[in-house]
Amino acid sequence: MKAATTIVAAGAASAGVAQVLALLFVGSSVLAGEPPQADERFTVIQAGRIITNVGQEIRDGVIVLAGGTIRNVGTGIEYPVNAKVIDARDRTVMPGLIDPNTRYGLPAYQRTEVHGDWSAASEYFPAPDEYDDVLDAGYTALALVPAGKGIPGRAIVVRTAGPADKRVLLSPAYLRVTPDKRVFRAALERAQKEIEKVDKAREEFEKKQQEQKPPAQPVSQPGTQPAFRPPPIDAPHQVLVDLIQKKADVFALLELNNASDYVQMRDVLQKFDIAHHFLARNGRESDLGYVVAKLGEEKAKIILQPVISRVPASAERIHLVRMFAQAGCEVSLTPVNDSPREFKEMLGRVANLVREGWSREEALKAVTLNPARLLGLDQRFGTIEQGKEADLIFLDGDALDPRARVREVMIGGEIVHRAEVPDP
């Protein structure tokens, strides 16, 4: 049976299983005995299994969508008889995967030093089939980061498919900070100087106003009073100024290549208290085990790679991902590199982490809900519950089953991608 025929958009006549009619939607055509047209406002997914990421998995459940948003999830739910029904009774439905840090599809453009005013948006020109491989892998959103050393700029978060006007979810998003302590500290010190510059100018301005204004004169008209115009802040450092002043809804993503980078970055953070999360490159050989407890203590949000590492200069294997999670960190996972193959391997690698001893629920959250929370998109994505947007994937088996694969991808309530699966 081909993929296209498995899921059919059916009218109420064929979906005769749940004919509970909401009175409001009983149209005149039904009364007249004509075959009712599908109500495009509602889409109903009949799913064999739903991984909601909140509470228990649901078997033989129903997801009701309206306008690309999830209205209701559960079993035995009422929905309009003329809703568009997607028969996914042989599918496992789960939230789309989110990659919190990638350069997939971006050109190799490197920057050095501090570029807080740049973002990956200037490199984002996706071709029509740009993300086909990523969609095959089940990814519905990616955080694209600028490349380079120092502070190369800010990320953007995009959907991998869907209408062009709804593609970009966040622009700009977090600030990428590579593990270069001296650049990071110098940038923050410079930003601090910019703040002092503005404060000094304001002080001088107020002093001048006081001097100019004769004390005897009555309160001047509000319109005539000249407003304080702050001196311009150096554009590449503006975002760092915002971070220090805790103004904008932005955080710094501090990259750690090894355990020492954490100590060095924390040394800077002792002086500058800024919002931050971490990305740790736990490769095949990693000494990050040294700082697990410290990161766990501060309940850090951390992005990791789904691999079992080895302690340097030894044959000892360590499950760093589990160690971080158990220490109290909120772990998100990102593919090992930006190749399409790694995206497609992702669920297999997650399955491996579970096989090596990690909770299945946590592992699945680490590729869906936790990245959404890290990016500040957890109000919109990451779970299947009321109010969330319908960026879902349909698998033909369990998410961690090596035989299963992603068959359909839904973004904003529409099936936007179907995997081409060869006949067995």
Segment 171 to 190, residues that bind another protein, using CB under 8 A: 181-182, 185
Segment contacting another protein (CB under 8 A): 61-69, 110-118, 230-238, 306-314? 306-314
Inter-residue contact 96 to 368 (CB < 8 Å): yes
Among 30, 38, 263, 354, binds another protein (CB under 8 A): 263
Among 46, 160, 258, 332, binds another protein (CB under 8 A): 258
Q: Which of 57, 38, 37 is nearest to 47 (CA)?
A: 57
Segment contacting another protein (CB under 8 A): 86-94, 128-136, 254-262, 350-358? 254-262
The nearer residue to another protein, 106 or 263, going by C-beta atoms, is: 263
The single-letter code of the amino acid at 331 is: V
Among 171, 238, 260, 326, binds another protein (CB under 8 A): 260
By CB under 8 A, is residue 326 in contact with another protein?
A: no
Distance CA 137, CA 383 (A): 18
Is the link from the previous residue into 36 a cis peptide, with omega within 30 of 0? Answer: no
The nearer residue to another protein, 292 or 372, going by C-beta atoms, is: 292
By CB under 8 A, is residue 298 in contact with another protein?
A: no
Q: How far is the CB of 239 from another protein (least distance, A)?
A: 23
The single-letter code of the amino acid at 296 is: G
Instruction: Give the CA angle between residues 49, 333, 393 to the nearest 5°.
Output: 30
Buried b (16+ CB within 10 A) or exposed e, 227-238: eeeeeebbebbb
Segment contacting another protein (CB under 8 A): 231-239, 253-261, 353-361, 408-416? 253-261
The nearer residue to another protein, 65 or 265, going by C-beta atoms, is: 265
By CB under 8 A, is residue 267 in contact with another protein?
A: yes
Q: How far is the CB of 365 from another protein (least distance, A)?
A: 29
Could you list the residues that contact another protein (CB under 8 A)?
181-182, 185, 258-260, 263-264, 267, 287, 290-291, 311-314, 316
